Amino acid sequence: SDHFLEYPPDPDSFDIAKLYPAYAGSGKRPEFVDIGCGFGGLLIALAPLFPDTLILGMEIRVQVTKYVEDRITALRLTGKESQSISETNAPGRGAYQNIAVIRANAMKFLPNYIQKGQLSKMFFLFPDPHFKARKHKARIISPTLLAEYAYALRPGGIIYTITDVKDLHDWMNEHLSAFPLFERVGEDELRKEGHGPVLDAVITSTEEGKKVERNKGDKCPDWLRILAYDEVLD
Ligand code: SAM
């Protein structure tokens, strides 16, 4: 439970250099956050697409976080996923420095890590469905949490969601639609703006997404853009 987790008291105390040593002293902070990143497929797919952007995965399960940490360490050393890390096969040395994972309960402690307006992208990919009505408050898209996500995102920032659970899709859609700072954005528009590779990664790169594919499930995506506060007031 959360009792054993240590959290920075505020985003300035969050030791970013430790997670991204190659960027120590650069002043960069993570700009994309993958909430509930699971086994890290999205982080790894995005890393080469945005080599100058810091990307952070947040995952609550200890073992899963550890697995992603090891995966990233191996990638940083070898440039590819491999069982045995050796100095001889180090073609991509220097790559994957821009992705990292932390163990954290993102539903409770996001503002401890992320400053206001820090993020340009947030990902909620195949979140846990919590089917029972009394468990709905545990859902990661909820009216209270949306205000926190809006705080963390900068104007023009994009929220990406996808799920194979129709009931959860409808729930997320309802709450995202009701939130005045978010505007739904079409897939065509995002592709025209050059976000196609991100959409493809969202749809195909995660471990859960691959499982849904194997089981021939449906994938229901939803993309939203955050408006500037004055656009909402106009
Ligand atoms: N996004 C990944 C994917 O598409 O493969 C993982 C999907 S998995 C169904 C949902 C993940 O969210 C799990 O790994 C779970 O441990 C994590 N999770 C659930 N609640 C969380 C929370 N409050 N903070 C961080 N991670 C959480």
- What secondary structure letter does DSSP report for 2? G
**Roughly what angle, to the nearest 10 degrees, separates helices 143-152 and 106-113?**
20
pLDDT in tens, 19-32: 999 999 999 999 99
Is the pLDDT reported for residue 3 higher than 80?
Answer: no
Task: Give all strands (DSSP E) within 18-132, no chain letters.
Answer: 32-35, 55-59, 99-103, 119-125
CA dist 188 and 78 (Å) reads: 36
For 173, the domain range is 2-233
- Which residue owns the Cα nearest ligand 1 atom 11? 36
Contact 129 CB / ligand 1 (< 6 Å): no
The residues annotated with a catalytic role in the active site are 128
pLDDT in tens, 83-103: 444 444 444 446 999 999 999
- Which residue owns the Cα nearest ligand 1 atom 10? 127
Is the pLDDT reported for residue 150 higher than 70?
Answer: yes
CA dist 53 and 51 (Å) reads: 6
- Which residue owns the Cα nearest ligand 1 atom 5? 208
Give the dihedral sign, CA 123/40/51/12: positive
Domains contained in the chain, number: 1
> Residues 132-154: what's their mean pLDDT?
90
CATH, residue 44: 3.40.50.150
To test the pocket of ligand 1, the residue of 61, 121, 160, 207 to mutate (highest count of ligand atoms within 8 Å of its CB) is 61
Confidence of residue 120 (pLDDT cuts 50, 70, 90): very high
Predicted ipTM of the assembly = 0.99
